[in-house]
Structure 1
Amino acid sequence: MKKIAFFTFLLFSFLGYSQKKSLEAQLITESISIDGKLNEPAWQNAPIASDFVMYQPDNGKPIPENQKTEVKVLYNNDAIYVGVMMYDNEPNKILKEISQRDNFGTADIFGVFINGFNDGQQSFEFFVSAADVQGDCIMTDVNGEDYSWDAVWISKAAMTDNGWIVEIKIPYAALRFSEEDKQIWGINFFREIKRERKKYTWNLIDTKLGTFTQQNGLLEGIQNIKPPTRLFLMPYASYYLNAADHQKTYATIKGGMDIKYGINDAFTLDAILIPDFGQTKYDDQILNLGPFEQQFNENRAFFTEGTDLFNKGNMFYSRRIGGRPSTEPTLNEHEEIIEEVQNVNLINALKISGRTKKGLGVGILNAITEKTFTTIKDTISGETRREVVEPLTNYNVLVLDQRFRKNSSVTLINTNVTRNGNFRDANVTGLAWDLNTKANTYNLSGNVKYSLINDTEDKNGVFSTLSFAETSGNYRYSLGSDFVSKDFDPNDLGINFYTNYYNFYGNGNYRILNPTKLFNSFKIDYDMYLELNKDSGKVQENKISSEVNITTIKNNYYGLGVVFYPLESNDYYEPRAENRYVIIPRKIETWGSISTNYNKKFALDLNPSIIFTNEAGRMAYGADIGPRYRFNDKLLLTYTFSFNRKNNNKGYIDSIDDDNNESTPETIIFANRNVITYSNTLSGKYALNSAMTLNLAVRQYWSYAENKENLELQPDGTLTPYPEYTENKNSSFYSWNTDLSYSWWFAPGSQLSILYRNNASNFERVIDKDFKHNVSALLNNEALKHIFSISVKYFIDYNAVKNKVRKRA
């Protein structure tokens, strides 16, 4: 009997899990109050979606009866409504930390995933936590979850004696669907029980397959609705008060508007009129001793929201728009810059994006920055002059992405930068492909890019990559190769550092798909990488690595990795000179990572690492230590201390040209140096309620490079002593940033933000190793700037205004 019952269970499991579940949406005429009570009669008669199954960690296991979840869906001419009852046998243990929007902290979560075209391409995901905090994102299999996308919708979570309830209203303006009379949407429901770290979905998401968005269930029954006019206006006003020691305090008032317009059922126009990014998060600057610029994260909402199409082919780096000028001023003798430009002002920007029913995604982004001058002073005569460092510039990105079979795509991308006058122009075109078998078991991906630069000397280059991977099951692997020509240059609107090479790489990994007695998750990776200079055939990079990542039954994470560099490599970039290279010795690196269960009030993150080379005394080591403490559901503090030390590091400091002999190569000076870095970061959150939070972010950073011996780079890549060079090229950079902010979502889509910020940074050649003195000097000198700002943005929905006017009429 036990065997019969077992095989019967397997049969029903197979029949249930191999087919998409379906739910009928109920048409309503009565009004629904979003209060978390589900007491309207329409809720009582609606069909129920239940029988949730586990997504992680024990994939496919049914949810316990005492934690069952029941979901109902209603609709009318304006919106769909989702009502959820989540039972819990221990309701007093439900975690409900209050956090900011899109950051759920330690709280139970409910989510609804909607694909209005039921094409498996992307889902709009809406989440509500047990603390009544909203989150939303766009989900694609290629790019994952993009939480920079924000919609305007209404929800309410409420606790009960036997669990908790969520009630949601999602206006059609927040979704995308066709104009057909009879709608069939892809839909799934999600629940996370945080204290157990268990995630469930209504329709099974099979983790053996390399896809998420194609495993939705079906929502049927919605008829005779029409996509609304999607026109949203977001006017804003900002006030800034700037002050610094020994400088005049001044106030600035700004105002402008963002516009979102639904061109049709699939495409949306986003536009910025008079941009204002004054409250954007500060950049974490570092002491950059390398040959390449520091890459920063994008924190401006316009350039992060809904940009999955523009990220295809890895050709778009949005920080180029409104970043530093593209040219440096020409200084004559006895001249100096007295007004250096840090960022070019953005005049306006717009983007059009969407996808047709047949799977064609179209993305167009355009931005214009203003003509920018720097001020230069003659130190003898005192006269000043202005020089253009960035002309009026147009940035443009075009993407055509054709998806097919719900899991594959071919993409054409073009980026173009046109500068007014006799300045550098750039054009880059790419073709990318991401091809998956019907069963999502194998993947073939790659791209080809071509760059064309029009400057004083035109140049063009090519980048190509191809990889093949098995993407399902316990054992998976991948193989690939890249080829990059010397003159490939996408950096006017993209970012790429390494050129003139070809490489080969491979990966093999094993993972468990269901928990064991010891682990909730276990994965081991093995990687190999070899990179060769295209002209000389010399090894530029090589490594063999292995790492293990584990989550225990108690939800503590452990990671361990070892990286071998078995061959000497040749760095063609650090010398900052054509066809010159420096030899990098063989080395071995090991690292560890520990992250204890965040469900507990106290948790700790620890990440140590150490590198040994086969060169005497040359090594590096460091660690990040991050304790965090959740005092209650409202207050959380996180602190991170980072330390890193490089002993006998070899790096470029200067070069000397022999102007009298063109046949003699320039002398390239390196230094044998110790590089030490400290940073302290404190972040805190106090939530007054789910709509109001106080946030604190403090970062202190100090890094210095102390040169012990000057070295000359030889033509064969070796370094020899060079005592003739005596100039001080020590480096010491320290910075301070503080953000204290108050955020209030006073209406759907409408926000009041109050921010106090102070920041300062300094670079010196003289190293003061008194840590306390360094920090106090930075906080008490005239470089410290204070900014107080208030910003209000208000969300206006054309449909809501139109309905109000009709009612009054």
Structure 2
Amino acid sequence: MNKLLLLSLLFFSFFGYSQKKTLHTKFITEKIEIDGKLNEGIWKSAAIASDFIMFEPDNGTPIPENKKTEIKVLYDNDAIYIGAILYDESPDKILKEVTQRDNFGTADLFGVFINGFNDGQQDFQFFVNAADGQADCITTDTNGEDYSWDAVWDSKAIITDKGWAIEMRIPYAALRFSTEMKQTWGLNFFREVRRDRFKYTWNFIDTKLGTFTQQTGTLEGIENIKPPTRLFLLPYSSFYLDANARQKTIGTLKGGLDLKYGINDAFTLDMILIPDFGQTKYDDQILNLTPFEQQFNENRPFFTEGTDLFSKGNLVYSRRIGGNPINYPTTSINEQIIDNPASVNLINALKISGRTKNGLGVGILNAVTEKTVATIQNKNTQEIRKETVEPLANYNVFVLDQRFRKNSSIAFVNTNVTRNGDFKDANVSALVWDLNTQKNTYNISGDFKYSHINSTEDKKGINSQLNFSETSGKFRYGVGADITTKDYDNNDLGINFETNYYSIYGNTSYRILNPTKYFNSFGARLNTYSQFQKETGKIQSANVNLQINSNDKKNHYYGFTVDAAPIETYDYYEPRATDRYVIRPTRIRGSAFISTNYNYRFAVDFNPSYTAFDEIGRNTYNISIGPRYRFSDKLALNYNFNFNRQNNNKGFIDSLADNLNASVPNTILFANRNVLTYSNTLSGKYALNSQMTFNIALRQYWSYAENKNILSLEQNGRLADFAGYTSNKNSSFYSWNADLSYTWWFAPGSQVSVLYRNNANDFERIINKDFVSNVTNILNNEALIHTFSISVRYFIDYNQIKNIM
């Protein structure tokens, strides 16, 4: 009888978990003070969402009674209110590290996920941690979580004798929903008990399925509300002081305005009327010995926020907008460059994005950059002339993305760069598809891209890929292929390193879905990749890769990777000449990582690796170690040291032209070299509270390549000794960056930021191997730039002004 009862309970539990839960809300006229106390009488009559279910690690397990979680939802004409009581038998053990916005820290967490169209496509997620910090993001199954999106909303979290409690007020202006009289929203709640690393959701999310946003419950009862006028203004003013040893201190005052306007319930207009990116995070520059440019992260808020639509097809590299000029000034033997701007100024930019209730997403991104000129001086006559290195240019991205069946989409993407005058124009179009079966068990994805460069000689090219994969269960697999023609070029508004190839690849993986005796999570993945030069069929890449990742019962993370290139390959990129290649030897690489539980005050990340090549004396080893210490809930420091050494690395250094045809390289030279890299980074914060934070970020970097002997590239791709070359092609690059900042969110959406920054970098052919003197020299470098800045941004909501008036 007891067994029958147990089976019945398990059956009804599973049946309940597999259904969408529904919560009914009610309209209120009473005022709710957002203080975390839930002491207004109206809360007592609200329906309760409870019976949370574990998401990770033991998926499907009911939340224990001593962690009971009760959520209530109310609404009025302007906002939705969430009240949460999160029980905990040990309130003194609740983790509550204070962090800045969008950083969870080592703290318990609560979140609410809202989909105003209930279409399973996109969630607006709002989080509050036990230290009263906020985070928010937009989430899709395709692109994951985008924390660059920020909304303006109120919350308060407090620790109680029963656990902790939260009140939240989310204005309708922070959400998207239809104009229908009766609303049904997608809804889910999330809770993480940080000390256990246990995560729970109100509506069960089955980790066997390859979807998150489609497994939500519903919120019913909202009636007769209207989407508000979503008009937000963000005026700002900044003051900068810049100085270095070469020039006197210069003060600059800037002002500007950003605008966000809801065109209707689905579409939003974002505009930069006067840009100011002076406090944007610095780039981590490196010594780049490869034939490809270094790719940098986008740190400008306008270009990082709400990028879901614009990331379709991976056609947009927004650093092109306001990046380096496309041309380098031409000079005669008696001329010198006096001024050559490193970047192009942005005049203005706008975005229009949104999605209709029928699932059609529309995105438009447009930006205009100014004409940029270099200054050149005649050394004999002192005459000055100007040369245009970047004309007035317009950058445009247009996206149509049709979603259907809640889990699939087909998109059309077009990127266009139009430059004034005789400078080249560029256009790329793409068809992108992501198709899933109704039960989210299989996926077919891919794209077809066509590029057209309009220059002195038109170039047209194609890139296409097709992938098939199983996306559910413990065992999964995938296969795919892609092809890129020689003249495919999306680099005017995108970034692409390799052309003129085709490839095939596959993978298979295994993961546990519930904890075992030793592991909370465990996964293994085997990948294979082969790439061939399209015209000759020679193999350019052949890799087999095995990855193991695990999380033990004490929440320490371990893993290792074995990567092998078992056959020689033909590298058509390193020689930097048409139809030339260098043969790369076979190799095998092993790496491991350990990341101890961040819940502890002291934790460490450790990542060593070693690569052996089928060449005498050639190997590479790397070690990265990153200790971190949390002195208190307010003060924490993270340090990372990285060392990399490449012994007998072979790389391009120069080419000698044929005397009869200077444009054709006759001899391509490589160097047999040792390459060493050191980097030290330190980051930390002291948080006065969740609105005021002091931050520090330091980075020291030094890398050098010391050539041992010179080699010539033979026509058969082999390297041979070369005598008589006397030019010094050693490389040594130093970089230093330091940021000390204070941020204060003095009002919702409004911020004061104070920043002191100094940075410098230098490149030399003479290698000084004294590490201490190198660091001292870069800090004493006369090019070291010191910047002090204060920026004030104030958020203005049209609805608040309207209500006041």
After TM superposition, is the score higher than 0.5?
Answer: yes
Secondary structure of the 1:54 match is strand
Conservation of the 8 A alpha-carbon contact between 2:246 and 2:783: no
Q: How many matched pairs?
A: 805
Secondary structure of the 2:248 match is coil
Q: Distance in 1 between matches of 2:105 and 2:22?
A: 32
Residues 1:661 and 1:127: Cα distance change in structure 2 (over 3 Å): closer
- TM-fit CA distance, 1:377: 2.1
Equivalence for 2:407: 407
Structure 1 segments (4+ residues) deviating >4 Å = 661-665
Alignment of 1:470 with 2:470, yes or no, is: yes
Alignment of 1:486 with 2:486, yes or no, is: yes
What does the per-residue CA deviation read over 1:698-726, in whole Å, with 9 as the maximum and x for residues that have no partner?
00000000001011111111111111111
One-letter code of the match for 1:61? T
Q: Distance in 1 between matches of 2:78 and 2:316?
A: 37
Alignment of 1:606 with 2:606, yes or no, is: yes
One-letter code of the match for 2:438? K
Equivalence for 1:51: 51
What does the per-residue CA deviation read over 1:359-384, in whole Å, with 9 as the maximum and x for residues that have no partner?
00000000000000111222333332
Matches within 5 A, 1:488-637: 488-637=488-637
Equivalence for 2:736: 736
- TM-fit CA distance, 1:128: 0.2
Q: Distance in 1 between matches of 2:623 and 2:602?
A: 20
What does the per-residue CA deviation read over 1:92-120, in whole Å, with 9 as the maximum and x for residues that have no partner?
00000000100011000000000000000
Equivalence for 1:336: 336
Equivalence for 1:156: 156
Deviates more, 1:241-250 or 1:253-262: 241-250
Secondary structure of the 1:249 match is strand
One-letter code of the match for 2:535? D
Q: Distance in 2 between matches of 1:175 and 1:193?
A: 27
One-letter code of the match for 2:500? N
Q: Distance in 2 between matches of 1:414 and 1:548?
A: 39
Equivalence for 2:746: 746
Conservation of the 8 A alpha-carbon contact between 2:394 and 2:418: yes
Q: Distance in 2 between matches of 1:731 and 1:604?
A: 33
- TM-fit CA distance, 1:68: 0.4
Equivalence for 2:39: 39
Alignment of 1:385 with 2:385, yes or no, is: yes
Matches within 5 A, 1:677-756: 677-756=677-756
Equivalence for 1:326: 326
Equivalence for 1:267: 267
Secondary structure of the 2:296 match is coil
Secondary structure of the 1:799 match is helix
- TM-fit CA distance, 1:340: 2.3
- TM-fit CA distance, 1:87: 0.2
Equivalence for 1:30: 30
Q: Distance in 1 between matches of 2:90 and 2:233?
A: 44
Secondary structure of the 1:655 match is strand
Q: Distance in 2 between matches of 1:270 and 1:714?
A: 55
Q: Which runs of 5+ in 2 are unaligned?
A: none
Equivalence for 1:671: 671
What does the per-residue CA deviation read over 1:169-212, in whole Å, with 9 as the maximum and x for residues that have no partner?
00000000000000000000000000000000000010000000
Secondary structure of the 1:211 match is coil
One-letter code of the match for 1:547? Q
One-letter code of the match for 1:335? E
Residues 1:663 and 1:172: Cα distance change in structure 2 (over 3 Å): closer
Q: Which runs of 5+ in 1 are unaligned?
A: none
What does the per-residue CA deviation read over 1:266-285, in whole Å, with 9 as the maximum and x for residues that have no partner?
00000001100000000000
Conservation of the 8 A alpha-carbon contact between 2:655 and 2:665: no
Q: Distance in 1 between matches of 2:661 and 2:278?
A: 51
Q: Distance in 1 between matches of 2:663 and 2:519?
A: 65
Residues 1:661 and 1:687: Cα distance change in structure 2 (over 3 Å): closer
What does the per-residue CA deviation read over 1:285-328, in whole Å, with 9 as the maximum and x for residues that have no partner?
00001101000000000000001100011101000000000111
Equivalence for 1:437: 437
Equivalence for 2:644: 644
Equivalence for 1:11: 11
Secondary structure of the 1:633 match is coil
Q: Distance in 2 between matches of 1:654 and 1:564?
A: 30
One-letter code of the match for 2:347? I
Alignment of 1:796 with 2:803, yes or no, is: no
Q: Distance in 1 between matches of 2:44 and 2:334?
A: 83
Equivalence for 2:211: 211
Equivalence for 2:68: 68
Secondary structure of the 2:575 match is coil
Secondary structure of the 1:42 match is helix
- TM-fit CA distance, 1:468: 0.2
Equivalence for 2:223: 223
Q: Distance in 2 between matches of 1:733 and 1:375?
A: 27
Q: Distance in 2 between matches of 1:282 and 1:661?
A: 43
Deviates more, 1:714-723 or 1:362-371: 714-723
Secondary structure of the 1:214 match is coil
Secondary structure of the 1:310 match is helix
Q: Distance in 1 between matches of 2:670 and 2:81?
A: 66
- TM-fit CA distance, 1:14: 2.2
Alignment of 1:21 with 2:36, yes or no, is: no
Percent identity, please.
Answer: 67
Q: TM-score, normalised on structure 1?
A: 0.99
Equivalence for 1:245: 245
Q: Distance in 1 between matches of 2:275 and 2:145?
A: 26
One-letter code of the match for 1:57? P
Deviates more, 1:740-749 or 1:772-781: 772-781
Secondary structure of the 1:666 match is strand
One-letter code of the match for 2:176? R
RMSD: 0.9
What does the per-residue CA deviation read over 1:732-751, in whole Å, with 9 as the maximum and x for residues that have no partner?
00010000000000000000
Q: Distance in 1 between matches of 2:496 and 2:776?
A: 38
Residues 1:519 and 1:664: Cα distance change in structure 2 (over 3 Å): closer
Q: Distance in 1 between matches of 2:411 and 2:450?
A: 14
What does the per-residue CA deviation read over 1:428-476, in whole Å, with 9 as the maximum and x for residues that have no partner?
0000000000000000000000000011111000000000000000000
Matches within 5 A, 1:78-477: 78-477=78-477
- TM-fit CA distance, 1:545: 1.1
What does the per-residue CA deviation read over 1:120-173, in whole Å, with 9 as the maximum and x for residues that have no partner?
010000000000000000000000000000000000000100100010000000
Secondary structure of the 2:214 match is helix
Q: Distance in 1 between matches of 2:38 and 2:122?
A: 29
Q: Distance in 2 between matches of 1:103 and 1:673?
A: 42
- TM-fit CA distance, 1:15: 1.9
Q: Distance in 2 between matches of 1:646 and 1:338?
A: 38
What does the per-residue CA deviation read over 1:527-573, in whole Å, with 9 as the maximum and x for residues that have no partner?
11110000111110011111100000100000101011011011101
Secondary structure of the 1:81 match is strand
Residues 1:753 and 1:375: Cα distance change in structure 2 (over 3 Å): same
- TM-fit CA distance, 1:663: 11
- TM-fit CA distance, 1:5: 2.2
- TM-fit CA distance, 1:665: 4.9
Q: Distance in 2 between matches of 1:208 and 1:683?
A: 37
Q: Distance in 1 between matches of 2:689 and 2:339?
A: 45
One-letter code of the match for 2:641? F
Equivalence for 1:767: 767
- TM-fit CA distance, 1:386: 1.4
